[in-house]
C-alpha cells in the first residue's frame, strides 16, 4: 500500500501554519498504509541558499516523528512525506526506503512499478538500490521533459518529488491505480495525502482548515509553487 503526503505553503499562510506539526500529523495519519519505513524531504532556506533536506529510517511513523523536532524547521514551506509498505527491496537497506534520491531528484512513490528491471536494462542507469520505485526517479533525473516520459512506467503510481535545482517547487503526479487527494486552505496552501479521510484526519489534528478537497485524477501532473 504505502502512504504519501505533503504540502506547499502559500505566502499568506507562511506564519499561520506550524508546518512541522502538519508534517507530523500527516505522517501519523498515513502510518496505517505502511510501517516498514518512514521518510520526509523538505526545502530549507539558509540566507540566499536553498536546498532539499531529507531523513528516512526503517521504523514506523510514530517512532520517526519525534526526530522532526531537531530536523525540520517549523516554517518549512514545501515537504513530501512517506510511510512504506515494502513490495521490493529490503527496508533494512536504507536506499530502498523513501524519499529515494537519484541525482537532483528526491522522490516518494505509492504503488508498484512492474517494468523497473526492463527500464534499468534498456536505459543502462546505474542501480542504487533494489526498490522498484527507483526506476521512476531515474527516469525523471535522466529526462529533459520528465512528465512526457512518465508513460513509460508500467504499474500503479502516485508520486511526489522535489528537485534540488528548484527546492521550493513540489511536483505531484498520478498514473493509474494509486489514490491521491489535494486540499486547499483559505489562504491558498496545498496539502496532499493518499486518501481523503487521512487528509482530513491530519489537518484536523494539526489545526489547519481546508476549504476544498479534490481527487487528483489518473494521468495528471501538477507543478506547485507556494500552494499554486
Instruction: Say how far residue 183 (Cα) sits from the centre of its chain.
Output: 15
Please give the residues from 36 up to 75 whose contact with ligand GLU meets the rule CB under 6 A.
Answer: none
Helix ranges restricted to H, 89-189: 116-123, 134-141
Number of residues forming the site for ligand GLU (CB under 6 A): 15
Q: Which residue is nearest to ligand GLU (CB)?
A: 2
Please give the residues from 82 up to 121 whose contact with ligand GLU meets the rule CB under 6 A.
Answer: 84-89, 109-112
What are the cell numbers at 170? 513540489
Can residue 175 be called a binding residue for ligand GLU (CB under 6 A)? no
Q: What contacts 24+ positions apart, CB below 8 Å, involve 199-204?
A: 199/5, 199/29, 201/25, 201/29, 202/5, 202/22, 202/25, 202/26, 202/28, 202/29, 202/30, 203/22, 203/25
Q: Which of 76, 83, 133, 194 binds ligand GLU (CB under 6 A)?
A: 133
Nearer to ligand GLU, 89 or 146 (CB): 89
**Smallest distance from ligand GLU to CB 73, Å:** 27
- Choose the stretch contacting ligand GLU; rule: CB under 6 A; options: 70-78, 128-136, 187-195, 213-221: 128-136
**Smallest distance from ligand GLU to CB 86, Å:** 5
> What is the C-alpha radius of gyration for the chain, rounded to an integer number of angstroms?
16
- Choose the stretch contacting ligand GLU; rule: CB under 6 A; options: 80-88, 168-176, 192-200, 208-216: 80-88
**Smallest distance from ligand GLU to CB 108, Å:** 9
d(CA 158, CA 167): 20
Q: Which of 35, 132, 134, 163 binds ligand GLU (CB under 6 A)?
A: 132
Nearer to ligand GLU, 24 or 109 (CB): 109
Residue 40 CB neighbours (<10 A): 29
Q: Classify strands 100-102 and 181-185 as parallel, antiparallel or unpaired.
A: unpaired
Nearer to ligand GLU, 83 or 189 (CB): 83
Task: Label residue 9 left, alpha or beta by phi (over 0 means left) and psi (-120 to 50 means alpha).
Answer: beta
3-state secondary structure of 97: coil
Chain residues that interact with ligand GLU, rule: CB under 6 A: 1-2, 84-89, 109-112, 131-133
Amino acid at each position: 500500500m504505502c502512504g504519501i503526503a505533503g504540502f506547499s505553503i502559500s505566502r499568506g499562510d507562511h506564519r499561520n501554519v506550524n508546518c512541522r506539526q502538519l508534517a507530523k500529523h500527516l505522517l501519523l495519519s498515513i502510518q496505517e498504509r505502511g510501517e516498514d519505513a518512514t521518510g520526509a524531504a523538505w526545502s530549507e532556506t539558509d540566507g540566499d541558499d536553498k536546498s532539499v533536506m531529507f531523513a528516512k529510517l526503517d521504523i514506523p511513523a510514530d517512532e520517526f516523528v519525534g526526530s522532526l523536532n531537531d530536523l525540520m524547521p517549523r516554517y518549512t514551506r514545501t515537504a513530501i512525506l512517506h510511510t512504506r509498505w515494502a513490495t521490493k527491496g529490503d527496508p533494512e537497506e536504507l536506499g530502498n526506503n523513501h524519499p529515494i534520491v537519484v541525482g537532483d531528484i528526491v522522490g516518494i512513490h505509492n504503488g508498484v512499478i512492474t517494468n523497473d528491471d526492463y527500464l534499468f536494462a534498456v536505459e543502462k542507469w546505474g542501480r542504487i538500490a533494489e526498490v522498484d520505485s527507483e526506476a521512476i526517479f531515474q527516469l525523471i533525473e535522466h529526462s529533459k521533459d520528465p512528465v512526457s516520459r512518465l508513460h513509460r512506467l508500467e504499474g500503479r503510481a502516485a508520486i511526489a518529488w522535489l528537485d534540488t535545482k528548484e527546492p521550493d517547487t513540489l511536483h505531484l503526479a498520478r498514473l493509474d491505480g494509486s489514490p491521491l487527494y489535494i486540499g486547499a486552505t483559505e489562504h491558498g496552501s496545498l496539502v496532499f495525502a493518499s486518501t481523503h479521510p487521512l487528509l482530513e484526519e491530519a489537518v484536523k489534528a494539526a489545526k489547519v482548515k481546508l476549504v476544498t478537497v479534490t481527487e487528483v485524477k489518473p494521468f495528471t501532473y501538477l507543478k506547485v509553487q507556494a500552494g499554486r
